[in-house]
């Protein structure tokens, strides 16, 4: 997989002044205390995977706040709201690099972006995106997000760049509407059985899933009537949403925020076994977050039962240290097992 992420360097982005995470595996889990920046790492990787799309910054902001997308909303990408320091993202891939920089143009500026001011009270009227795929310091491609005279958000794209990555971001929302629409698309594309088989692995009582005009329904063994998805547990709904989203297209990379959201602790091992098998079968690289130690224990147990998983998963503890700033501590299976078995506080 040439589009596999191997390493990322994040500078002046959201809560990070500087962070490097390296040696990515097929499946990567970010853990740590609340508000340490786990989701920000997913967002960084996701924006790099679609770096030619100027609407990427407004997308990640929308998933966080559900607010109407505005150009000025990209201010929250800037570390400490300091607009004089451009956020920069750089990833090493299996083949080549990806890099992306954000340059703001303020409402009271001229068209010369060098005159941008750093006051957090200023309004951003335009965001310039410089991106590239070579080791050179210069970014060869450029795109723009701006507000037109009518107050509408518009974009300009670089027609000389052709994107070859296809990535998916699954937010922490357990939206039944998303699950229904994604599964309905699978039915149309004749890919339904892939997800049904995976769900049976998650819960053997599931006989089938049906997309009907009034929503998604489950056929459960021993139950005469189809049950609406709203009657199922949060875990099943979350799994349907994740699996049907992934199966709809041939993605290179999938990002899942709060992967265990809505799952009972007893379902974590089965969730991981299902996700890990699905990632192997579809040859996708997965990045996920959690702050749940039960989820981490479930992952360890899933890897213990299947040695193939042990080589394909890395866990990263994201922590802010007193002397070295933000750090990412990598755990392989053996290190994760030792940390959990000896009750070491992996979240520091």
- What average pLDDT values come out for the chain (348 residues) when binned by 10 residues? 89 96 96 91 97 92 76 93 95 93 83 48 90 90 93 93 92 69 84 87 88 89 90 80 85 92 84 89 93 90 91 93 91 86 58
Cα distance between residue 206 and residue 7, in whole Å: 39
In a domain, 270, yes or no: no
In a domain, 190, yes or no: yes
How far is Cα of residue 184 from the mean position of the Cα atoms in its chain? 23
How far is Cα of residue 134 from the mean position of the Cα atoms in its chain? 24
Burial (CB count <10 Å: 0-12, 13-18, 19+), residue 151: exposed
In a domain, 241, yes or no: yes
In a domain, 225, yes or no: yes
In a domain, 180, yes or no: yes
In a domain, 324, yes or no: no
Residue 286, pLDDT score: 96
Residue 291 corresponds to which tokens in the numbers above? 């702050």
Which residue segment(s) compose the domain that 193 sits in? 172-249
Cα distance between residue 135 and residue 129, in whole Å: 17
Residue 99, pLDDT score: 97
Cα distance between residue 345 and residue 166, in whole Å: 36
Closest CA to 99 of 127, 75, 135, 128: 135
**CB atoms inside a 10 Å sphere around CB 7:** 14
Residue 216 corresponds to which tokens in the numbers above? 């998604």
Closest CA to 317 of 307, 304, 332, 303: 332
In a domain, 208, yes or no: yes
* Number of domains the chain is built from: 1
Q: What angle do CA 134, 137, 138 make, to 5 degrees?
A: 80
In a domain, 236, yes or no: yes
100 within 8 A of 48, measured Cβ to Cβ: yes
């Amino acid at each position: 997989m040439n589009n596999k992420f191997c390493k990322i360097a994040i500078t002046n982005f959201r809560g990070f002044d500087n962070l490097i995470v390296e040696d990515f595996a097929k499946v990567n889990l970010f853990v740590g205390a609340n508000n340490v920046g786990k989701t920000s790492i997913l967002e960084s990787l996701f924006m790099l995977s679609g770096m030619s799309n100027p609407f990427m910054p407004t997308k990640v902001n929308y998933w966080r706040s559900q607010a109407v997308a505005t150009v000025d909303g990209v201010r929250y990408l800037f570390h400490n709201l300091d607009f004089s320091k451009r956020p920069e993202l750089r990833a090493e891939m299996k083949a080549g690099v990806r890099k992306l920089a954000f340059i703001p143009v303020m409402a009271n500026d001229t068209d010369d972006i060098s005159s941008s001011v750093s006051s957090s009270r200023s309004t951003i009227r335009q965001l310039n995106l410089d991106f590239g795929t070579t080791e050179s310091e210069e970014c060869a491609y450029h795109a723009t997000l701006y507000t037109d005279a009518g107050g509408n958000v518009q974009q300009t794209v670089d027609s000389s760049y052709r994107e070859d990555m296809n990535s998916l971001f699954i937010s922490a929302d357990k939206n039944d509407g998303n699950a229904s629409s994604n599964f309905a698309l699978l039915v149309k594309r004749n890919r339904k059985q892939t997800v049904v088989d995976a769900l049976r692995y998650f819960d053997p009582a599931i006989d089938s899933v049906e997309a009907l005009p009034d929503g998604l329904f489950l056929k459960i063994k021993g139950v005469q009537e189809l049950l609406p998805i709203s009657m199922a547990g949060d875990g099943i709904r979350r799994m349907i949403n994740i699996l049907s989203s992934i199966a709809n297209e041939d993605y290179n990379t999938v990002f899942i925020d709060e992967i265990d959201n809505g799952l009972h602790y007893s379902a974590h091992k089965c969730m991981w076994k299902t996700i890990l098998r699905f990632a192997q079968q579809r040859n996708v690289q997965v990045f996920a977050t959690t702050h749940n130690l039960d989820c981490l224990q479930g992952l360890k147990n899933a890897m213990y039962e299947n040695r193939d998983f042990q080589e394909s998963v890395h866990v990263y503890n994201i922590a802010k240290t007193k002397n070295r700033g933000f750090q990412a501590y990598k755990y392989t299976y053996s290190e994760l097992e030792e940390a959990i078995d000896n009750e070491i506080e992996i979240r520091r």
